[in-house]
């Protein structure tokens, strides 16, 4: 006869093993709204959840970059594929606050003071890994030495795209020497020679390692673009063209960011295949 199902353990000497591993109490203690408005908690939790997704994306892309550096493409592709799904969850994080009206947002917006998502150190690392680098972006962290040191290190390391192009060059693809030797602390700028490399990769058809890498990077670029546009739309809906917190021009700044293309030659090359 089949054995009856075993019930879960209920007795523990101290906290539950779940709590020991997940640290749920610690996570819950971090939600400390500063107004009485019931909508503020949704905004705060959504922002904190996004920070967790940024942390995971940095982990995945640094894993992929290291794997590409040692020519371990399967490990790199696995990390990139995970990050595509994680970007999907990051994008879905907008849902709880994407339909805030100006009146709803204004009830707790003053509590933000000068706080802005632009100041997120973990998001800055996400952008650095995507090739969006400028030394001036370290300025907000100069009075926090530990954070500043981590970001300065990330600034001077090759981006995910830099490592992908170096991997292609080691596989015999004619990536221009100027691109391979460029200052990786500077923002990546499109290069016609790189576009030609990707055009040739896609002209060869499906199935090659370079093609698979290109498609994973394209998936990432598309979802990053969607995240930036969702951010733009949510902000426009909640505050219109008002100046943003942290001194930015708000929607105008986000429009400029949303117009930037991640891994640009992967997109321009498509028109030449």
Q: Which residue has the tokens 């995945």?
A: 60
109 labeled part of a ligand binding site: yes
Asked whether the beta carbons of 185 and 132 are under 8 A apart, the reply is: no
245 labeled part of a ligand binding site: yes
Identify which of 128, 131, 152, 126 has the alpha carbon closest to the alpha carbon of residue 140: 152
Q: Which residue has the tokens 């909508």?
A: 39
Which pair of structure tokens corresponds to residue 1? Answer: 């006869």
Which pair of structure tokens corresponds to residue 54? Answer: 């940024």
261 labeled part of a ligand binding site: no
Asked whether the beta carbons of 245 and 112 are under 8 A apart, the reply is: yes
Asked whether the beta carbons of 67 and 203 are under 8 A apart, the reply is: no
Cα–Cα distances in Å, from 50 out to 176, 216, 219? 37, 22, 19
Q: Which residue has the tokens 């595509």?
A: 84
Q: Which residue has the tokens 């107004």?
A: 35
Q: Kind and range of the H or E element at 51?
A: helix 40-69
Largest CA distance in the chain: 73
Q: Is the four-CA dihedral 129, 249, 264, 227 of positive or negative sign?
A: positive
Q: Kind and range of the H or E element at 69?
A: helix 40-69
Asked whether the beta carbons of 45 and 28 are under 8 A apart, the reply is: no
Q: What is the DSSP letter of 112?
A: G
For the annotated binding site, the residues are 109, 231, 245
For the annotated binding site for substrate, the residues are 109, 245
């Amino acid at each position: 006869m089949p054995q009856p199902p075993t019930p879960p353990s209920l007795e523990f000497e101290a906290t539950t093993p779940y709590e020991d591993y997940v640290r749920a109490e610690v996570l819950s203690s971090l939600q400390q709204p500063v107004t009485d408005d019931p909508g503020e908690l949704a905004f705060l939790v959504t922002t904190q959840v996004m920070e967790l997704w940024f942390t995971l994306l940095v982990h995945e892309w640094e894993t992929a970059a290291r794997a590409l550096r040692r020519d371990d493409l399967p490990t790199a592709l696995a990390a990139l594929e995970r990050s595509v799904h994680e970007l999907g969850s990051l994008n879905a994080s907008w849902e709880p606050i994407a339909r805030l009206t100006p009146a709803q947002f204004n009830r707790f917006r003053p509590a933000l003071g000068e706080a802005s998502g632009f100041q997120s150190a973990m998001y800055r690392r996400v952008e650095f890994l995507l090739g969006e680098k400028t030394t001036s972006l370290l300025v907000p962290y100069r009075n926090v030495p530990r954070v500043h040191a981590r970001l300065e290190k990330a600034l001077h390391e090759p981006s995910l795209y830099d490592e992908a192009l170096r991997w292609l060059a080691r596989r015999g693809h004619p990536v221009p020497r100027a691109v391979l030797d460029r200052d990786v602390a500077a923002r990546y700028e499109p290069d016609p020679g790189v576009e030609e490399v990707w055009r040739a990769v896609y002209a060869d058809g499906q199935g090659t390692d370079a093609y698979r890498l290109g498609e994973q990077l394209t998936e990432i670029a598309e979802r990053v673009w969607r995240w930036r546009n969702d951010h733009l739309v949510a902000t426009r809906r909640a505050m219109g063209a008002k100046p943003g917190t942290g001194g930015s021009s708000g929607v105008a700044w986000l429009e400029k960011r949303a117009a930037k293309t991640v891994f640009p030659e992967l997109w321009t090359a498509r028109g030449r295949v």
